[in-house]
Structure 1
Amino acid sequence: MAAKERDLYARHVAPGDDEWEQAEGTELYVARFWRLPTPPLTDQPGDQASERIETIRSWAKDTGLQVNDHGPIPDAIIAMYNATH
């Protein structure tokens, strides 16, 4: 089931998108409620964590995803970044 979620994130399909909602049965349940763990951004020293956050934010904008210039980055976007890098 985790493979289905990784596939959706790798193709930039986030929860709420039509394709995500079309997933049926157990796959939909697992994809919504048992997301893959993402490494916390705070495990790294201050400068490295800030750099990683800005890298993810920049990647998301370049990919066409909506992300704020400041504040937390949604877990779905972090998971998409991790799936593609």
Structure 2
Amino acid sequence: MPQYDIIIEKDACDGIFACLTRDPRFVEGEDGLATVDPDADPVYDCEGAVTDTDERVVATFDDDRIDEARQAAAACPTDAIVVRVREGDE
């Protein structure tokens, strides 16, 4: 299973939250922008590492839910979300 990163660029995020309806791991952060919380999904017990800085959120997963993450990224009208497969995992 490939390891992948979900990256949210905070300066591009407008808090529209179209991503939240595509992938329940996306939630509203304390700053009013989208972030990722692996524990927010009530259906799947998933583990992920999340780094949240002033510039971006980077969440790393190694599950089979990359398509949900890609759908969330595609739904973002400001293109603030990128999903990247980790090098060597393609």
> Which of structures 1 and 2 has the bigger CA Rg?
1
Q: TM-score if structure 1 supplies the norm length?
A: 0.27
- The structure whose RCO (Cα within 8 Å, separation 6+) is larger is 2
Q: Looking at secondary structure, tell me which structure has more helix per residue.
A: 1
